[in-house]
A and B are shown apart, each in its own frame.
Chain A
């Protein structure tokens, strides 16, 4: 059927047709046809030589067609598959999906396993059933979905169809706040033989049901491919469950127990910590990643971890809240000395981490690529200046280490006044004692940054400093300027009628448009920014996330020009721009931003129910909508209007 259809298209002369959609006569076929003809009409033909000429012409034409049309016609539909894959590997998920919708051959290309691995199927908020949507959509398709995640899904027994069909291909599986019981859980695991990553977060029903349910008939289950196990946010993980997990997954290389055991009784917690440390001691050679962020550990645990033989971690994340260590024998110091091969060290929220610890880290772990010290309040300049010993450092996060000043920053990061590291990401949020000078020098020296976070460090950035960032940081992908209220239009556009700098002869202005690669921009609370900036700058074609909340001085005119210049924004926050965000603004925003996934309009008290209608009409992909404190939205049940939106906060 298809072939016939395409033939018809061809005859109608609709553009160039792709090569193989036209049934090409091969030379042999043409020849054979000609010969048949020859046989049948031999006698007539012998007499009639002109017939022969027709035949020759026909063959000539076919040959010309083959040579000129088919072989030398470039058409991207028929580019060799491996080259299409080459092209598609640069696309993000949304663009990849769009490319898949272009034609069937491109769609088949997007099913190549390496491209599929980029895509996560995220099932959210429903009661699981094979016969109801959305699971029934997935029962008739043959696509390859290696990554599956469930959030707030209630699982029910005896619904196996999805797992029978797709289980073979699943490699990563996450359960987030799901209602799932032991039998279903085990059955799902059994049907995924290739599973290598399992994450269970906030699924307390699973642990509650663990002991009540009858034991399965003694057969030992082994999931040998699983190498990453994550169990987050639970206080119900008991020793038997943990033991089951680790014995059934013998090849773990990464163990992640974030936010666990918070409300557990002390005795039980010691018990489980003991079994964890026993396990780590047993598997010391194999384990490479350990994450215990915000999980209560104790001194003995850390000491034992430090003394574990053969344990050489690549990545360690933990929160240390113990006694502030002094010189001598102390768990955390021993651990730092023992784990001298780390690439990633994350100590977020460690209230007990002193300068001494940081100095030890810098002295012992010279391999470190990524150091995260968010909210380690005890750190000050004395510790930070030692960071210069970490010559491979690429990512540094010292957000909220609020004792840090310029001195430590400059001595640590720009020793001898020169660029020292290959820094790619720098997080300097909420540092009240950091000044403009530090930002100025850092952005001048480190011109290869991809992420720069200055949120809440309002003392450290003004118009001149932001100009410096625009001048040197043109590789930035994420820029966070939350609450940097000193920035004005002059900083963003580099152009001013009044400023002295602007009138200076040798002054070359820079503006936001220099940051062509920017994906994420947060200028929340920079209330001095007005329409002038929005109209002049924001030529940022790649922008995906934008936060302009609390920019009171931006009006509809500015917002309209902004969204026309960045039509691919997926997450937009316009909270509390109250005066100027009206129903007509929302109509324009939803009309132009076709890929919008998250829209925040908290406290926009001009908008009414009409906005819900335009959102319903225009936003196909919207997942979350925030409309708190919008007092003119009278509709109490916006879910009825917006059936596709999964989260509405009102």
Chain B
């Protein structure tokens, strides 16, 4: 295993639609999935392994992800276990700015962060969506996310009657 060497070799990744991106080993290791891949290659593989294919991430999304991991490569990343207890913690203004994107991109970012297993990025992006859902009516949420209403009035009424008796624990 040669991951911890001081020099930071170049690594290439290929998106699902065939675009190649270059980044550094240190940044790409933020992804748990790729870290596992590289660990399995074993001795001396890093230099000679060639481009890493990522079938589930398209080029636009991969570009965004790489921008994020390169910015955060020197920060200590929390594990997914630590993330679970993390709630409304302080968000870095850079991240706040970074997340200003349309919903389609955000959707792709969430699935990519999940596939690549980057807990901090997944936390940031899902939390962003949660902030959008917060304090809105169902109709507002539907039109925001373009979701169709598949409830019948009777069903909605029944659920609301139950909800009336529910409160925060």
Q: Which residues of A contact B (CB under 8 A)?
A: 2, 6, 9, 14-18, 21, 72, 74-77, 79-80, 82-83, 86-88, 90-95, 97-104, 106-107, 117-123, 134, 137-138, 140-141, 143, 147, 475, 517, 541, 567-568, 621, 644
**Contact yes or no, A76 B130, CB < 8 A:** no
- Chain B, 21-65, contact with A by CB distance < 8 Å: what is the 0/1 string? 000000000000000000000000000000000000010000000
A88 to B141 CA separation, bound complex (whole angstroms): 13
A-B contact pairs, 28 of them (CB 8 A): A17-B148, A74-B107, A75-B145, A76-B107, A79-B111, A87-B127, A91-B130, A91-B133, A93-B168, A94-B168, A95-B135, A97-B166, A99-B133, A100-B159, A101-B151, A102-B147, A102-B149, A103-B148, A103-B151, A106-B147, A118-B168, A118-B169, A121-B162, A121-B165, A134-B161, A138-B162, A140-B158, A143-B162
- Chain B, 114-142, contact with A by CB distance < 8 Å: what is the 0/1 string? 10000000100011011101111110011
Q: A18-B147, A75-B147, A101-B160 given as contacts; is B88 within 8 A of A517 (CB)?
A: yes
**Contact yes or no, A137 B134, CB < 8 A:** no
Contact of B148 among A18, A95, A97, A123 (CB under 8 A): A18
A621 to B160 CA separation, bound complex (whole angstroms): 11
**Contact yes or no, A83 B166, CB < 8 A:** no
Query: Which residues of chain B come closer than 8 Å to A644, judged between CB atoms?
Result: 164
A80 to B107 CA separation, bound complex (whole angstroms): 11
Q: Does B103 contact A (CB under 8 A)?
A: yes
Q: Does B167 contact A (CB under 8 A)?
A: yes
- Pick from B103, B114, B160, B162 the residue with the most CB of A within 10 Å: B162
**Contact yes or no, B141 A99, CB < 8 A:** yes
A106 to B151 CA separation, bound complex (whole angstroms): 11
Describe B's contact surface by its main secondary structure.
helix
**Contact yes or no, A120 B141, CB < 8 A:** no
A466 to B121 CA separation, bound complex (whole angstroms): 36
Q: A91-B130, A91-B134, A95-B133 given as contacts; is B161 within 8 A of A121 (CB)?
A: no
Measured CB to CB, the nearest residue on chain B to A95 is B134
**Contact yes or no, B133 A104, CB < 8 A:** no
A293 to B77 CA separation, bound complex (whole angstroms): 42
- Chain B, 79-121, contact with A by CB distance < 8 Å: what is the 0/1 string? 0000000011010000000000001100110110010000000
**Contact yes or no, A101 B103, CB < 8 A:** no
Measured CB to CB, the nearest residue on chain A to B128 is A87
Query: Which residues of chain A come closer than 8 Å to B76, judged between CB atoms?
Result: none
Query: Which residues of chain A come closer than 8 Å to B134, judged between CB atoms?
Result: 91, 95
- Pick from B108, B129, B160, B167 the residue with the most CB of A within 10 Å: B167
Contact of A9 among B103, B107, B148 (CB under 8 A): B148
- Pick from B87, B142, B156, B166 the residue with the most CB of A within 10 Å: B166
A567 to B162 CA separation, bound complex (whole angstroms): 24
**Contact yes or no, A83 B110, CB < 8 A:** yes
Query: Which residues of chain A come closer than 8 Å to B7, judged between CB atoms?
Result: none
**Contact yes or no, B159 A134, CB < 8 A:** no
**Whole-angstrom distance from the CB of A66 to the nearest CB of chain B?**
15
**Contact yes or no, B111 A83, CB < 8 A:** yes
Measured CB to CB, the nearest residue on chain B to A123 is B165
A137 to B161 CA separation, bound complex (whole angstroms): 7
- Pick from A80, A92, A98, A118 the residue with the most CB of B within 10 Å: A98
**Contact yes or no, A104 B130, CB < 8 A:** no
Query: Which residues of chain B come closer than 8 Å to A95, judged between CB atoms?
Result: 133-135
Query: Which residues of chain A come closer than 8 Å to B133, judged between CB atoms?
Result: 87, 91, 95, 98-99
Measured CB to CB, the nearest residue on chain B to A105 is B150
A102 to B141 CA separation, bound complex (whole angstroms): 7
Query: Which residues of chain A come closer than 8 Å to B127, judged between CB atoms?
Result: 87, 90
Measured CB to CB, the nearest residue on chain B to A147 is B169
Q: A18-B147, A118-B169 given as contacts; is B162 within 8 A of A79 (CB)?
A: no
Q: Does B163 contact A (CB under 8 A)?
A: yes
Query: Which residues of chain B come closer than 8 Å to A99, judged between CB atoms?
Result: 133, 138, 141
A91 to B127 CA separation, bound complex (whole angstroms): 9
A76 to B145 CA separation, bound complex (whole angstroms): 6
**Contact yes or no, A74 B103, CB < 8 A:** yes
Query: Which residues of chain B come closer than 8 Å to A88, judged between CB atoms?
Result: 130
A74 to B104 CA separation, bound complex (whole angstroms): 6
Measured CB to CB, the nearest residue on chain A to B163 is A97
Query: Which residues of chain A come closer than 8 Å to B110, judged between CB atoms?
Result: 79, 83, 86
Query: Which residues of chain B come closer than 8 Å to A103, judged between CB atoms?
Result: 142, 147-151
**Contact yes or no, B138 A76, CB < 8 A:** no
Other contacts beyond A82-B114, A119-B168: 15, CB < 8 A:
A6-B150, A72-B58, A79-B110, A83-B111, A86-B110, A91-B134, A92-B168, A101-B160, A102-B142, A103-B148, A120-B166, A122-B166, A134-B161, A141-B162, A568-B135
Measured CB to CB, the nearest residue on chain B to A18 is B148
Query: Which residues of chain B come closer than 8 Å to A6, judged between CB atoms?
Result: 148, 150
A14 to B126 CA separation, bound complex (whole angstroms): 28
- The 8 residue pairs across chains A and B that have the minimum distance between CB atoms: A74-B107, A90-B130, A101-B138, A76-B145, A120-B169, A86-B126, A93-B168, A77-B147
Q: Does B146 contact A (CB under 8 A)?
A: yes
Contact of B90 among A76, A86, A475 (CB under 8 A): A475
A79 to B88 CA separation, bound complex (whole angstroms): 23
Query: Which residues of chain A come closer than 8 Å to B165, judged between CB atoms?
Result: 121-123, 134
**Whole-angstrom distance from the CB of A605 to the nearest CB of chain B?**
32
Query: Which residues of chain A come closer than 8 Å to B126, judged between CB atoms?
Result: 83, 86-87, 90
